[in-house]
Structure 1
Amino acid sequence: MFTRTESFQTFIRLYPIVSIIAAIHALIWLFFQIPIAPVVILFNLLSGYNAAIADGEYWRLLTPVFLHIHFGHVLFNTISLILFAPALEKILKKAKFIFVYLGAGIIANIATYLIEPIDYAHIGASGAIFGLFGVYLFMIYFRKGMMDRSNSQIILSILVIGLIMTFVNSNINVIGHLFGFIGGFILAPLVIKKPKNYFY
């Protein structure tokens, strides 16, 4: 379920939405490495800056999901996406996967806006990715039969590690991680209506 053995072409064919999001991560990060003033201004215009959101720049509740600050940041989030998102794209199909991914990211950013100080700024896909784990947790406890025990244990182990690292590492949007996860869990019953007795 979480082991990637596909060729590059097969992966793109089977998981087009995950492939597009991963490409967007990479291309946007590369674009914002251009050291000229208009690019820097655009980056600042798209980041999640609470004071600007308070002034009505509500697009900032979505756009930070696609921004990353340094190579390690974009690499870690993109690898996490490639490893853990394909199974959900296959289960939910394209539209529902997009709904959950972006919905969890927006919920994470709304919570960040409401809870963090007015001068707080943030970027990154982590809230949306934690949202995917929220969906998986919902499946484990409320849609039994959709995942076998070994994959359920993998998800629970990764989730625990991720939550621990959220509080251990510096420069982490803790609120974004927690509420992205909660958002995914809350949105899950909207896209997974009935239990199905199959394994991925």
Structure 2
Amino acid sequence: MQAIYPLETGRYYHIYNRGINSCDLFTEEDNYNYFINLYEKYIDPIADTFAWVLMPNHFHLLVRLKDVNEIDLSGLKPPHQYFSNLFNAYTKAYNKRNNRHGALFERPFKRKLIEDESYFKQLVLYIHNNPVHHGFCSHPIEYGWSSYLTCLSHKPTKLKRNETIDWFNDEANFKYMHNKAVETMQLEKWLEIE
């Protein structure tokens, strides 16, 4: 079992979780959209997002918790509470819509501190290639519920797109690295993902 450490401001994290007993978290398009709207409400004020993917029964996020001087301090709670509020709000709505009750997400949600550039880059590739690994598509560009398309877009976004691409030097190398065959099982072991 992974040790759960408190989230610290100013640090980068891989946040991930799945449905309890691997149940689906997202069963229709509205579910994905609703989760993203709640994410913007609860997480955008306290964290910058660099990559994400929503899969039917799990998700992955790459975030940096904002420093205290970057956050509106009125009503400030510990960072993990914002994630808990997101998951609780989504669970309530999902349960009501699907006439179910009880927990939806495994607890506690998983988090891994990112401390080096190599991990950051490998994690971006892992997140964007997750749908490929699970057989939903043959390339990340084909999957609509990840940040890959947003990284390549020029539309306004809250995603830290430029910073993410800069980790790969430029957009051409970002695309090149995503086009390379990614050995997801090796990444899972290297990233120590359960």
TM over 0.5: no
More strand by share: 2
Where is the helix percentage greater, Structure 1 or Structure 2? Answer: 1
Q: TM-score, normalised by structure 2?
A: 0.28
TM-score of the superposed pair, with normalisation by structure 1:
0.28
